[in-house]
Structure 1
C-alpha cells in the first residue's frame, strides 16, 4: 500500500481552505469565521490544528481575533507586503533596482523658501518635481507614492528627467551607487492625500509611513530629495545594529 505524504501540514491546508473561502466571499468582510470547535468538527482536526490555521489568517491580515468576540474577517485578500533588509548604501540601491519606478508627471518649478531650504538652494531658483509610483515586481502592485525633488546644477540631466518615457531609467543612473557618498533617511507617520490614496487603492483615512531620503554625491551636494509614502502592510524596513568593537 502506498502512503500519500502531505505536501503541507494539516493546519496550513486548513488555513488555505479558509483563506480561499474568504477570497470567494463565502465569509464576507465583517462576518465571523467558525469557532475553533466548529472547525474541529467540520474538518476532523484537533483544537491545536484549528488554532494554528486561524493564526495563519491572522498573519495574512485577513482576520482579527478578540476574546469573547470570535474571529472576524477584516479583508478579502491578503495584504501585499514588500520587506527589504537595508543596513548599507548598496542594499538601499538594490531595493530601488528590485522594484519598478513609474514616473507619472514631471515639471520644472520655482523654489519657495521652504523648498529651497530642503534642497539647499536659493529661494526662487528652479528645481525639478517628479511624481512617481513605486511598484513591486513582478506583481506590479503599488508599494508607495514617491515625490522626487531635484535641484538643478551642472550635470543634472534635466531634459531626460522631464521625459516620462526615459525618466525612470534616468533616475536609476542619476542615483547610481558609484556616485553617492551617503543617503540620509528620516521616517515618520503621515496621512495620505486623496490622489495618493487612489493611486495606492486604499482609503484616504489610512495612515502612511513616510520616508524622506536625501541622496548626496561624492562632494556632499544634494542630488535628490525623495519622499515616499507607504500604506499599511505594503512595506517593511529592517536593519541590524551591531556594537563596534575596538
Structure 2
C-alpha cells in the first residue's frame, strides 16, 4: 500500500513537464481538496516543504504565491501559511511547452453541456472560427470547471465558457454526447478521433483580451464588461481539415496561462 508521500510523487509525475512550482501547487491544492489540510490549519513550513519535494525555498514560495492567487491560502509573518478555502474559485493554471500540453487542457477539466445544436456560420462566425460563410457546424456549448471545483450555479462560478464547433461530417457524435449526461471529461476532439479514426495534426491558437459581454457575464457569474481572455483553438486533422474549433472565454482571476518557449538552433 502506498503512503501519502508516494501518492504525492505519483501526482507530480502525471504532469512532469510543468514547472516544479506548478506541480507542487497542484499537489498541495489536491491535498487541501482531499481534506489532508483542513480549513484553518497550517501547511508545513517552507523548510519542511523544501525537504518533502527536494526543491529550493524560492520554488516553494512561488507555489504558495500561486495558491494565494487562487484564494486557497493566506500568509502571515510569524504564523505561517493558513488554509482559507477547500476549493479555489474555479481557477485553472494552464502551463504549456508543447502541442501535447495544449491538448491536455481539455482532459484535465470537465465540460457541463448547456447547448447542443446545428449552426450555419454567418460572416461574423466564419471570421471568428475559420471556414467559409454558410458552412454547417454542430455546436456543443457549456461551462468548464476543474473536477472538484464549483460548477455552474455554484458560488464563484466556472472558470471558462466554451463554445465547441465540430465539422458537420461528424454530426453522428450527437448520439454519443447528449444534454443531461454527466459532464464531458474526454475532449471532444479525442472523441472524434476515436469514433471516426481521425488524428490531430495541428493545433492553432489565438489569444486576445476582451470585455466580457452581458450574455457570458451572466453565464460566468461576473459583471458585464469585466476583463477576460478570449482563446480560439482550431484542431485540424492530418489533411488540415477542421475537426473542432473551440471558443473559450475566461474571466479575470480564474485562469492563468503559463508558457515556456525555447530558442531553436541558430543556423
TM-score (norm 2): 0.57
* Counterparts of 2:138 and 2:123, CA distance in 1: 15
The answer to whether the Cα contact below 8 Å between 1:84 and 1:236 also exists between their aligned partners in 2 is yes
Measured against aligned partners, the alpha-carbon deviations of 1:152-200 in whole angstroms (never above 9, x if no partner) come to 12x4435336732379357241267971011100000112222321222
Measured against aligned partners, the alpha-carbon deviations of 1:72-109 in whole angstroms (never above 9, x if no partner) come to xxxx9875531121121221222111111111011112
Q: 2:226 matched to which residue of 1?
A: 206
Match 1:174 to one of 192, 195, 218: 192
* Counterparts of 2:242 and 2:126, CA distance in 1: 12
Match 2:117 to one of 107, 130, 153: 107
Farther-moved stretch of structure 1 (79-88 vs 209-218): 79-88
The answer to whether the Cα contact below 8 Å between 1:121 and 1:151 also exists between their aligned partners in 2 is no
For the pair 1:152 / 2:162, whether they are aligned, the reply is no
* Counterparts of 1:114 and 1:60, CA distance in 2: 36
For the pair 1:185 / 2:200, whether they are aligned, the reply is no
With over 3 angstroms needed to count, the CA separation of the structure-2 counterparts of 1:158 and 1:121, relative to structure 1, is farther
Q: 2:34 matched to which residue of 1?
A: none
* Counterparts of 2:175 and 2:182, CA distance in 1: 6
Structure 2: runs of 5 or more not aligned = 1-41, 47-63, 72-83, 152-157
RMSD, aligned α-carbons: 3.5
With over 3 angstroms needed to count, the CA separation of the structure-2 counterparts of 1:92 and 1:178, relative to structure 1, is farther
TM-score (norm 1): 0.62
* Counterparts of 1:178 and 1:145, CA distance in 2: 26
* Counterparts of 2:183 and 2:68, CA distance in 1: 37
> Aligned-pair distance for 1:226?
0.7
For the pair 1:130 / 2:137, whether they are aligned, the reply is no
* Counterparts of 2:70 and 2:177, CA distance in 1: 39
Q: 1:196 matched to which residue of 2?
A: 216
With over 3 angstroms needed to count, the CA separation of the structure-2 counterparts of 1:120 and 1:227, relative to structure 1, is closer
Rg (Cα) greater in structure: 1
* Counterparts of 1:214 and 1:160, CA distance in 2: 23
Q: How many residues align structurally?
A: 184
The answer to whether the Cα contact below 8 Å between 2:161 and 2:219 also exists between their aligned partners in 1 is yes
Structure 1: runs of 5 or more not aligned = 1-5, 11-54, 63-75
